[in-house]
Amino acid sequence: MGEVLLKNIRKIYGNKEVLKDITLKINKGEFFTFLGPSGCGKTTLLRIIAGLEIHQKGKVYLKGEDISHLSAEKRKVGMVFQNYALFPNMTVFENIAYGLKLKGVNKKKIKNKVKSYLNLVNLSGYDNRNITQLSGGEQQRVALARSVITEPEVLLLDEPLSNLDARLRDKMRLEIKELQKKLGITTIFVTHDQSEALSMSDKIAIFNMGNCMQVGAPVDIYRNPKNSFVAKFVGETNLYDVNISNNDAIINENIILKLKDGKKGNHISIRPQDIMIYRKKKNLVNEFKVNILDIQFNGATIEYICKLKNIKVKIWVLNNTFNHNAFNNGENVFIHLPKESINVL
């Protein structure tokens, strides 16, 4: 399966620059995700790779070959669209076999191959069913089988989980990832859902307003966001504007946090689960007395919104059988923000 290289891709619609000089490398066999809010350019970039959109500047390479000016059918890529784009007048077998028929593959080989791919996506025995008889998850499996049966170099997935309910979406995440591993196919996945991106990807590119904000492994992006947009978009965080002086972060001129190193920036980010909350003062660095303004029970976690002077601090505590330190609305408590948990952006 193929390596994809995007070099200086620029796309303009009218007077709007949708993609601004994007350069990315997707390694062979990698599950690579384009993540970002609606309108950030991620789907446009996917369609440029597929040959469904024309870009004004830059090159698209597949296995070292410039495919920028090849038509979509000559690019050796398979694509699953958000609405699956299945043929409602065809059976499951006919939908999956469609690409092979276009290539002139003989009937016996088509029959054997379709049967094999039906088994691969857990749809054995569904050959003669109509598309309208299938659930959303089953239709998605048909779309996946149709896309990979022609053995493309790259599989492109455009928000394929967005039309499914939450429980089925979780199930299909695992199935897509398992299929990708079995086939070893280079996969580019588009989503605006951070949990999908974090749980499925080998690598993520974060997009905003046509710019690529950060590229990296999910753990690296979550733990070490490069800027305030990434910190806010990937996971929950406490984000504050600061002035930094002598390794101190000063918030609103009256809250001072000690930092772990001499990094400079204009913001700090602290994940809610990294903040400790307790009743008895411990005299720790970055320890503050706060008042609990609100408590939200979220099942696995309890969220405390606390007031620290003139700012709010969000804290998550794991809700388990052994955690009996429940706090009350309006209670005054102490919090500790470890230096190691503070990211300077």
3-state secondary structure 263-289: CCCCEEEECHHHCEEECCCCCCCCEEE
**4-230 is classed in which CATH architecture?**
3-Layer(aba) Sandwich (3.40)
The pTM assigned to this predicted structure is 0.92
N-terminal to C-terminal alpha carbon distance within the chain? 37
CA dist., res. 335 & res. 249, Å (int): 17
Q: 165-185: string of b/e by CB count within 10 Å (b at 16+)?
A: eeeebeebbeebbebbeebeb
pLDDT tens for the chain, 345 residues: list them: 679 999 999 999 988 999 999 999 999 999 999 999 999 999 999 999 999 999 999 999 999 999 999 999 899 999 988 888 898 999 999 999 998 998 899 999 999 999 999 999 999 999 999 998 998 889 989 999 999 999 999 999 999 888 788 888 888 899 999 999 999 999 999 999 999 999 999 999 999 999 999 999 999 999 999 999 999 999 999 999 999 999 999 998 889 999 988 788 999 999 999 999 999 999 999 999 999 999 999 888 999 999 999 999 999 999 887 766 789 999 999 999 999 999 999
Element (H, E) at 5: strand 4-13
CA dist., res. 299 & res. 302, Å (int): 7
| pLDDT score for 324 | 63
| pLDDT score for 242 | 96
Matching residue, tokens 């790779």: 49
| pLDDT score for 169 | 86
Instruction: Identify the bridge partners of residue 202 per DSSP, sorted by sequence position.
Output: none
Q: Which amino acid is at 343?
A: N
| pLDDT score for 81 | 87
| pLDDT score for 197 | 96
User: Residue ranges of the domains in the chain?
Assistant: 4-230, 236-344
**Phi and psi for 56 in degrees, rounded to 5?**
-85, -25
- 69 Cβ contact partners less than 8 Å away, ≥ 6 residues apart: none
241-249 own/partner pairs: CB under 8 Å, 24+ apart: 241/266, 241/267, 242/266, 242/267, 242/268, 242/344, 244/344, 249/342, 249/344
CA dist., res. 286 & res. 248, Å (int): 10
- 233 Cβ contact partners less than 8 Å away, ≥ 6 residues apart: 35, 36, 37, 194, 206, 208
| pLDDT score for 124 | 94
Of the CATH numbers 2.40.50.140, 3.40.50.360, 3.30.420.10, 3.40.50.11030, which one belongs to the domain with range 236-344? Answer: 2.40.50.140
